[in-house]
């Protein structure tokens, strides 16, 4: 007798399950090639969890459901996990983009009132209610691009009151979405003007006042460890205080200049070291021997017109656990499209289609301690899915410039469709959630 489930997704042209590998833990080296593709695949779901995956013929024989969705013609894979974003901001900074395109450097932009401090001023001026509404709109943008899990950083308030406002806005916005949200406190994003001449005092403020007060609103703490921003000693002090406050650790590391950031991340057992455009050979060696995930952000290097992409091939071949993320933010990478990031990773960092799929699913899930819940289609995990209108999984990276995501599914429920007419039973009348 067929087993009863809540919902069946059937006739997926290709089901990219990632079940050829282990259900948990990061994938390294050749393991990043293991996709577990099933042609004409199906998924059985009960109470938001995957019960079984397999060929449609077998799943339809073994399971019965009141609701069934035919995904003929679509490639279906785990929902994307974007593990490095900055969505809590008040205004965009397109003027800086055009200044850079015209040849302006960082100092010229800063002197014109731009940069992170311009975002700081905008956040400080905005009410909690309006900042919440803007953050909610930004988060829906991820869902429209097939992302079902988002790590979200504060970092544009740079004061106790305004970092608290940012985290409260994120908390309130997250309640309105079906996405899985991880919150990161990034008060150490830059030094605010009032502490530019007394940087150690701002570090003291972070460690002794902001961390104890704001830890309840966050899961992790991040620091922009870079010469000219937070040096190695300051970064170590901030992250040590964060751990004492009960937060997990993440790092902006070795982005512009080598500073041993990757080595520090490993030393502190951080969950991730991100950017890594200038990671050292020793940093690669240490990360390969650790569980610190290297989160690569090729969209930022592309958007800024810089030459130093992270050495993804050397890192993968050395055995590092590698993930990719959008770095969505108002200044240096204004995109929520993981598929675009996958293209840049393939073209500029020479990653394979299999590697960028793995780097956008199970590996970032591991960096967020969510690998037991999502990132693959092993039975028992959440049915978070991305439905793609592409000819094959091999078109990941190859197709760019548009949004190939047809539908996003969270906990087994379709929550957003970019082609509503294709799914009239779910999104009748053309009213989807992308404009929410």
Q: What are the phi and psi torsion angles at 118 (to 5°)?
A: -70, -40
What share of the chain has pLDDT > 70, as a percent?
97
pLDDT digits (tens, 9 = 90+) for 357-404: 999 999 999 999 999 999 999 999 999 999 999 999 999 999 999 999
| pLDDT at res. 325 | 99
Q: Find how far residue 219's CA is from the centre of its chain.
A: 15
Per-residue pLDDT at 105: 80
Fold agreement between 3-79+375-430 and 83-367: no
The yes-or-no verdict on residue 75 having pLDDT over 60 is: yes
Tell me what pLDDT residue 108 has. 78
Taking only the tens place, the pLDDT of each residue in 233-245 is 999 999 999 999 9
Tell me what pLDDT residue 260 has: 96
Task: Name the least confident of 134-148, 396-410, 411-425.
Answer: 411-425
Please determine, for residue 435, whether its predicted confidence score (pLDDT) is greater than 60: no
In the chain, what are the domain boundaries?
3-79+375-430, 83-367
pLDDT of the residue at 110: 73
Per the listing, tokens 């950083």 go with 153
Q: What is the mean pLDDT of residues 260-275?
A: 98
Decide yes or no: CATH 3.20.20.140 for domain 83-367: yes
Task: Please give the torsion angle defined by the CA atoms of residues 327, 385, 27 and 336, in that order, rounded to the nearest 10 degrees.
Answer: -10
Superfamily the domain 3-79+375-430 falls into: Urease, subunit C, domain 1 (2.30.40.10)
Residue 431 has pLDDT above 50, yes or no: no
Q: Average pLDDT, stretch 220-249?
A: 97
Secondary structure, 3-state, 112-163: CCCCHHHHHHHHHHCCHHHHHHHHHHHHHHHHHCCEEEEEEECCCCCCHHHH
Quick one: pLDDT band at residue 149, thresholds 50, 70, 90?
Answer: very high
Alpha helices per DSSP H over 182-227:
199-205, 211-214
pLDDT value, residue 430: 38
Q: Are 333 and 297 in contact (CB under 8 A)?
A: yes
Band of residue 107 on the pLDDT scale cut at 50, 70, 90: low
Position 186 pLDDT exceeds 50: yes
Span 345-355, average pLDDT: 98
pLDDT interval class at 429 (50, 70, 90): very low
pLDDT band at 250 (very low <50, low <70, confident <90, very high): very high
Tens of pLDDT along 291-320? 999 999 999 999 999 999 999 999 999 999
Q: 343 near 151, Cβ under 8 Å?
A: no
Q: How many CB atoms lie within 10 A of CB 380?
A: 10
Rounded Cα distance between 199 and 158, Å, is 12
> Model-level pTM?
0.96
Please write the tens of the pLDDT for every residue from 78-88. Answer: 999 999 999 99
- pLDDT class of 432 with cuts at 50, 70, 90: very low
């Amino acid at each position: 007798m067929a087993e009863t489930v809540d919902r069946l997704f059937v006739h997926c042209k290709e089901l990219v399950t990632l079940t050829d590998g282990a259900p948990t833990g990061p994938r390294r080296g050749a393991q990043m090639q293991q996709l577990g593709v099933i042609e004409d695949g199906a998924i059985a779901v009960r109470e938001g969890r995957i019960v079984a995956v397999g060929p449609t013929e077998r799943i339809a024989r073994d399971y019965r459901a009141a609701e069934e969705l035919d995904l003929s013609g679509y490639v279906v894979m785990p929902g994307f996990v974007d593990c490095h974003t900055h969505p809590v901001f008040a205004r965009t900074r397109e003027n800086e983009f055009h200044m850079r395109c015209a040849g302006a450097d960082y100092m010229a932009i800063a002197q014109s009132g731009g940069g992170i401090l311009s975002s700081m001023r905008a956040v400080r001026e905005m009410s909690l209610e309006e900042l919440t509404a803007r953050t909610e709109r930004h988060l829906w943008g991820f869902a429209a691009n097939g992302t079902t899990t988002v790590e979200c950083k504060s970092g544009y308030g740079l004061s106790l009151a305004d970092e608290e406002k940012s985290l409260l806005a994120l908390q309130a916005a997250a309640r309105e979405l079906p996405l899985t949200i991880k919150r990161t406190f990034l008060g150490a994003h830059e030094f605010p003007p009032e502490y530019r001449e007394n940087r150690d005092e701002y570090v003291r403020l972070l460690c002794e006042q902001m961390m104890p007060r704001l830890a309840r609103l966050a899961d992790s703490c991040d620091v922009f460890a870079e010469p000219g921003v937070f040096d190695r000693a300051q970064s170590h002090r901030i992250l040590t205080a964060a751990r004492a406050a009960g937060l997990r650790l993440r790092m902006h590391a070795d982005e512009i200049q080598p500073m041993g950031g990757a080595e520090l991340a490993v030393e502190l057992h951080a969950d991730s070291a991100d950017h890594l455009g200038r990671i050292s050979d020793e940093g690669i060696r240490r990360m390969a021997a650790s569980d610190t995930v290297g989160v690569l952000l090729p969209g930022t290097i592309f958007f800024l017109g810089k030459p130093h992409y992270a050495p993804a091939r050397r890192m993968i071949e050395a055995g590092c656990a590698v993930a990719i993320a959008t770095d969505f933010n108002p200044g240096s990478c204004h995109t929520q499209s993981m598929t675009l990031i996958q293209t840049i990773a393939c073209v500029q960092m020479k990653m394979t289609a299999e590697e960028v799929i793995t780097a956008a699913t199970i590996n970032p899930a591991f960096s967020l301690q969510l690998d037991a819940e999502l990132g693959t289609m092993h039975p028992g995990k959440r049915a978070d899915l991305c439905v793609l209108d592409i000819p094959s999984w091999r078109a990941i990276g190859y197709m760019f410039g548009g949004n190939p995501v047809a539908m996003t599914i969270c906990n087994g429920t379709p929550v957003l469709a970019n082609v509503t007419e294709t799914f009239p039973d779910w999104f009748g009348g053309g009213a989807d959630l992308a404009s929410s």
